[in-house]
Structure 1
Amino acid sequence: MAQPIRIALIPGDGVGGEVLAEALPCLEWARNRGRALETVTFPYGADHYLATGETLPDSAFTDLRDHFDAILFGAVGDPRVPDGRHAEEILLRLRRDLELTVNFRPCPPFLSVARTVDIEVFRENTEGSYCLQGSTEVGRAVDLSVHTEPAVRRLLQAAFARAASLGRPLTLAHKANVLKHGHGLWMRVFEELRAAHPEVNARGMHADALLCALVQDPTPFGLIAADNYLGDLISDLCAAFIGGMGVAPSISFAPHRPHRCAVLAEPVHGSAPDIAGQGLANPVGMLLSTALLFRYLGWEPEAAALETAVSDALAAGAKTRDLGGTLSTAAMGRAIRERFS
């Protein structure tokens, strides 16, 4: 028999555990359909950090890297840790040290008004302004933005491959007119790949102009590629087209697969400590991230069934408060799971 897929569960902070709890029955449902999988829950988050001083110890990172196939992640961020140290050393370390270069953030068309928006954002996930290198002095603060060709190339190759497979346009968001070194590297690699993929309708676009165009009319856009910082901003704006941060999914992966654990699925929203423990969080982003994980693992029937269940539940009027409804987190999860086929 094939070895089971081992999935690490990290609830994290705030509403992370609440939305992850709604994904667990989906994993059990997949197991009951014959998918071999095992899950192990890890405690890393603010509670663990405040109790022990540990963020993500090296032994745990090595275990995740070498003994698991995927990570399903809730959220991190807690006002009791005002400098966010634990969040950086857990989530950002996983992204960086597992080399999860590609952060894929789709806007599922069934969530958009009249199903007219179908945008997929490819965000570089390990470098740029989020490399956490800089300094603070009296009257002066510096945040470095670091870009390397291997990471830029991996991200753009993934974006071009996706655009070619779907026959959809690809836009690179950049500010190479000002950021001549870092974004100049992005443009050089982009132009090289554009020449190698004449079948893809690809263009570069200044990020400020792109954001303006998105607000005016998002429908002409297909795939958007960007560095870590711009990709974060653009994908969060795109979430507004599909109902907000509560429904936005994402998956991060290492396309060159240098290790066993090369994928992490998580909703785009944060830990939302202001509503934690009240049953107000929307589990849709987590459930759609679980569907992305199923698809990455090659479990297409399960991925499609979960996405259809979300679509049907929303069409039937099942909504949490952020979408104008009244359902609790658990009730919304049940409404979706009741529609599994």
Structure 2
Amino acid sequence: MTPKTEAELAQMIAGANAPLRIQGGGTRPIGSTAGEVLSTSAMSGISLYEPGALTIVAGAGTPIEEVEKTLAADNQRLAFEPMDHRALLGTSGTPTLGGMVAANVSGPRRIAVGACRDFMLGVRFVDGAGNIVKNGGRVMKNVTGYDLVKLMTGAYGTLGVLTEVSLKVLPNVETVGTVMLHGLNDEKAVAAMSSALGSPFEATGVAHFPKAASGDPLTMIRVEGFEASVKYRAGRLQELLKPFGEATFEIGDQGAADWAAVRDVRSFAGQEGDVWRVSTKPSDAAGLVAKMDAKAVQYDWGGGLIWVLSDAGRDLRSAVGPFDGHATLIRGSSDIPTFQPEATALAAITSGLRAKFDPRGILNPGIMS
């Protein structure tokens, strides 16, 4: 099922008598769900782009690459740098705007500017009863009543099928620089990343590899902006981080490529095993990793996000026990639930929302169970 218009989509959902599996570009098969595939790929195209207003509106099936090229022509960008899951998950297809919003996909810059959800201005979608719903608009202060824009972002298609999204964009940067520390253990790396984030030097990416391509630990801190500003702030960061060791600095295209690899977790691509995405407090990160017996680890967001490569079929949640955060199984073929089980009170709220937006339970049933 590949509707070309919003009205056609509404008819398909209203007439459905069995579960539907919602799909954008098919690049992110996270979570298990049954049903006939309902693709939004044909509802594509940029309907409005106002560089002066920092606003873009496009169909849910619009390729992210098309959006990024359009923005780049006016020296603008999606500041939250959405991750491309294809290398990590071994998938093909084309990442779409709707899929990005449905999963709230964000990259390393989230620690500085916010997530996809924070840049959402408006949505149009079709709920599980076939009703067309619009919420939000084309400016930041436009929401009255229930903020369905935020609710739909990260709902994985369980509350409705997105047809159009409106996003705030930001200007691009002139230069990317990376300050690097070598040989730090996990605890010292988290402390160094926290120092960088707590400084006034505007780090826009902070990542750590216990075992980088060289085989040694590598800690990376990104600064962006005009070249003179980047060099100045990088120099100040190098001074700030001297208690952790001598820091090196690189500037230019290679740094941008390195951060794209961090964003897409390419170091795990093609490696056997399950991939977990763990969100927690940075201060807890090193202790959690010590319990994991992982094959490989990548820290992002200053330690607030941990990517873990583990043995296939191993329940990482059981291994680490209760902690302040959640673990999502991004890649794995076992019977382990994809998403962290919800607390009783939260599960009741979630169930109530789904009953309102999808009373028949046909939109991606079971995907977040």
Shorter-chain TM-score above 0.5: no
* Larger RCO (CA under 8 A, 6+ residues apart): 1
Which of the pair is proportionally richer in strand?
A: 2
The two structures have a TM-score, normalised by structure 1, of: 0.28
The two structures have a TM-score, normalised by structure 2, of: 0.27
